[in-house]
Amino acid sequence: MDALHPRLLVDRFPEMFEFYQAVLPALIGAQLVKGTADGYYANWDVDGQAVLVLFGRAGMTAVAGTGGLPAKAGPAQDSVMFVCRVDDVDAGAQLCVRHGATLVAPATDRPDWGPTLRTAHLRDPEGHLIELQSYEG
């Protein structure tokens, strides 16, 4: 049973599915367990544990009864970030950009965050913040 996993609520499900299907296997070895670009739900696992689920926002809107609310407020700080531990931050960032991500902060060593930590920050095609991280050494 999956203890915890992020579930991104998305508006452009086919595009988001294609992005994560293109990058998750190479970045973290995640395999698609369920879903297609034509659906509203998809999940990827590593070693039998969910690492990411995409869910069409309209489906959750119906369940939560929030159809009358705006999908997004004006510009605001991020409240969620999808973090992936990868072998090579630079290569991972390049892979994500090739598949439609936007680079926010290039690969950078961050010793003040942790010894030997290297990160890059990107936005997926819908704007969700992603951190790629590795610990060298």
Q: What is the pLDDT of residues 90-127, one digit of tens each?
A: 999 999 999 999 999 999 999 999 999 999 999 999 99
**Tens digits of residue pLDDT in 121-132:** 999 999 999 999
Between CA 90 and CA 77 the distance in angstroms is 25
| pTM for this model (two decimals) | 0.89
Identify each DSSP E strand in 5-60 by its residue range. Answer: 7-10, 31-34, 41-46, 49-56
Contact present, 8 and 16 (Cβ < 8 Å): yes
Q: Is 71 domain-assigned?
A: no
Tell whether the model's pLDDT for residue 28 goes beyond 80: yes
Distance (Å, whole) CA 136 – CA 87: 9
Residue 111's CATH number: 3.10.180.10
Domain assignment of residue 94, yes or no: yes
Number of domains observed in the structure of the chain: 1
> Whole-angstrom Cα distance, residue 12 to residue 131?
21
Enclosing domain of residue 13? 7-66+78-135
Q: Is residue 1 part of a domain?
A: no
**Is residue 78's pLDDT more than 70?**
yes
pLDDT given for residue 3 in this prediction: 64
- Tokens 């689920």, residue located: 53
Q: Where are the alpha helices (DSSP H) in 29-105?
A: 57-64, 89-98
pLDDT band at 79 (very low <50, low <70, confident <90, very high): confident
Give the span between the Cα atoms of 110 and 136, in whole angstroms: 11
> Tokens at residue 26, please?
């190479």
**What span, in angstroms and rounded, lies between the C-alpha atoms of 38 and 124?**
19
Q: Predicted confidence band at 137 (pLDDT cuts at 50, 70, 90)?
A: low
120 lies in a domain?
yes
